[in-house]
Structure 1
Amino acid sequence: MFECRTFISVKEICQVLSVSESKSYAIVRDLNKELSDKGYMVIPGRVSRKYFEERFYGVDSFEKEDEDGSL
């Protein structure tokens, strides 16, 4: 089966964050609403993996610190 690395699904969010399926759906809805408000097209039940990681882990800030050598 093909695994999509571009989007993260509700089931994967359940595993990554150790939350219930209903909480995962709420997270996806909130993130998709933010993206939709910015003018992006969204897919119900999935969210951009990159956006998810930015919002939950602050990926951009880690990358910038690593480039500076301060991490």
Structure 2
Amino acid sequence: MSKLLITAAEVAEIMDCSERHGYKLIQEMNGELKAKGYITRAGRVPRKYFFERTGLSGQEETNGEV
């Protein structure tokens, strides 16, 4: 089973940014999810939501990430 949540380190690698910026992106996405009534976990965001939100939904399968 693939991981359902993506970490800041993975976000940083995919987005080619620092891990600190990865945490900021996750914090922003978790805020959006929380506003919609979802339960969130600090430092992680659902992998599917990350790829949808960043517009990289096609990359998910081609990179072997999932």
TM-score bracket for this pair, using the shorter chain length: 0.7 to 0.9
d(CA) in 1 for partners of 2:56, 2:38: 20
Which consecutive residues of structure 2, in runs of 5 or more, have no partner in the other structure?
A: 59-66
Larger % of helix: which? 1
Stretches (4+) displaced over 4 A: none
Which structure has the larger Rg over C-alpha atoms?
1
Q: What's the CA shift for 1:4?
A: 5.4
**What letter corresponds to residue 5 of structure 1 in structure 2?**
K
The aligned counterpart of 2:26 is 28
Shift of 1:24: 0.5
Paired residues, number? 58
Residue 7 of structure 2 corresponds to residue 9 of structure 1: yes
State the TM-score, normalizing by the size of structure 2. Answer: 0.79
Listed one character per residue, the Cα deviations across residues 10-62 of structure 1 (whole Å, up to 9, x for unaligned) are 00001111101111010000000000000000000000001001100163xx7
Alignment counterpart, residue 56 of structure 1, candidates 51, 54, 57 = 54
TM-score relative to the length of structure 1 = 0.74
Q: Residue 53 of structure 1 aligns to which amino acid in structure 2? A: F
